[in-house]
Amino acid sequence: MVKNQIQRVFHTPVLVERVLEYLVTDFSGVYVDGTVGGGGHGEAILRRLNRRGRFIGIDRDREAVDFCHDRFSSYGDRVRILHGDFGKVDLLLEELGITQVDGFFLDLGLSSHQIDTPERGFSYLSEGPLDMRMDASVSGSAKDIVNGYSERDLVDIFLRYGEERSARRVARRIVRERRRRPIETTKALADVIRKITPVQRQIKTLARIFQALRIEVNRELEQLKDGLERVYPFLKPGSRVVVISYHSLEDRLVKRFFRGETPSTSREALLQSDSGYRFHVLTRRVVRSTQEEIQRHPTGRSSRLRAAEKIEDPREGDSCG
């Protein structure tokens, strides 16, 4: 399969040049992409590195992992593609015998391939099983949540992860409908939501409810928190972390982490004034796609890039002298 076909099959990467600008500082370094997807950002990173540079790609989606094994096969032992959660990045790196990395990159959210595959159940625009699992080998799908969670728990996730103001009305209707028959497809759920939502608000409400379910199914905020915290000990002073997020929940968590606060996955700010995280923030304001980039790649419209560089903890030298 040629490279332009690869891009169409999986995902067109966003903000590529900005990612390279902020991430790659050592052309011989070790760089980790925790959401390798179709490998678009990974290929760009590898092209920036010299022959001593190494790239590690991680993804929960087995299809993406298998795809990238083929895509990067010509790079030999410079590349390792791993199936796993980036929330357990420390364990994955330890298995490879890696003690330090020069950069850690995350492009959060869904790939075009996942959205455009009805069988994955991510989109309300096409009919498919109500699944939404990024790793199809694990248990617990969106169908289990929609048909098994209490009304109160549904309200909670719609408010927390979707920030949807009609959460209570949607949850109440879901519970009512599932008493008659299980809600098992994306179309069935979308129809339930449309019945009680004004036409002018349907698209936003559908997007928020589906987002909330996807985040709950895949524990996305917990994984982001775990991944950032667990990669920190592998970063040496000067190492970079770059994250592209697509909604405010992710972005706030990343922002807190870069400020040295303990990232929180709850609605309350469980902040710790001295977490031990030491960063120099490289993006004082969030970096967004330009209008030209959005015209080429509409999926990048909501992208938000933040970057930071680990700095030396001054307390590490206190015991000397």
| Contact (Cβ atoms closer than 8 angstroms) between residue 89 and residue 163 | no
| Domain ranges, ordered by start, for the chain | 3-113+220-317, 123-218
Determine the pLDDT at residue 298: 75
Q: Which two tokens stand for residue 316?
A: 């590490």
Contact 248, 221 (CB under 8 A): no
For residue 10, the model assigns a pLDDT of: 58
State the Cα–Cα distance between residues 180 and 264, nearest whole angstrom: 38
**Predicted pLDDT at 223:** 96
What is the number of residues in the chain? 321
Beta strands 235-245 and 101-107, pairing class:
parallel
pLDDT for position 269: 44
pLDDT score recorded for residue 265? 54
Mean pLDDT per 10-residue section of the chain, whose length is 321 residues? 45 90 98 96 97 97 95 96 97 98 94 83 93 93 98 98 97 98 97 96 97 96 96 97 96 94 55 70 93 78 95 59 35
Which residues have C-beta within 8 Å of that of residue 299, sequence separation ≥ 6?
Answer: 11, 12, 14, 112
Burial class (CB in 10 A: 0-12, 13-18, 19+), 211: buried
Instruction: Determine the pLDDT at residue 202.
Output: 97
Structure tokens at 110: 């869904």
Would you state the pLDDT for residue 275? 63
**Number of helices followed by number of strands (H, E) in the chain:** 14, 7
pLDDT at 179: 97
Residues of 275-304 as b/e, b for ≥16 C-beta within 10 angstroms? bebbbeebbeeebbbeeebbeebebbebbb
Topology (CATH) of 123-218:
DNA polymerase; domain 1 (1.10.150)
What is the H or E stretch that residue 260 is in? none
**Residue-wise DSSP of 114-126:** HHT-GGG---TTS
State the pLDDT at residue 264. 61
Quick check: 168 and 155 in contact, CB under 8 A? yes
CATH architecture of the domain covering 3-113+220-317: 3-Layer(aba) Sandwich (3.40)
Q: How far apart are CA 297 and CA 40, in angstroms?
A: 13
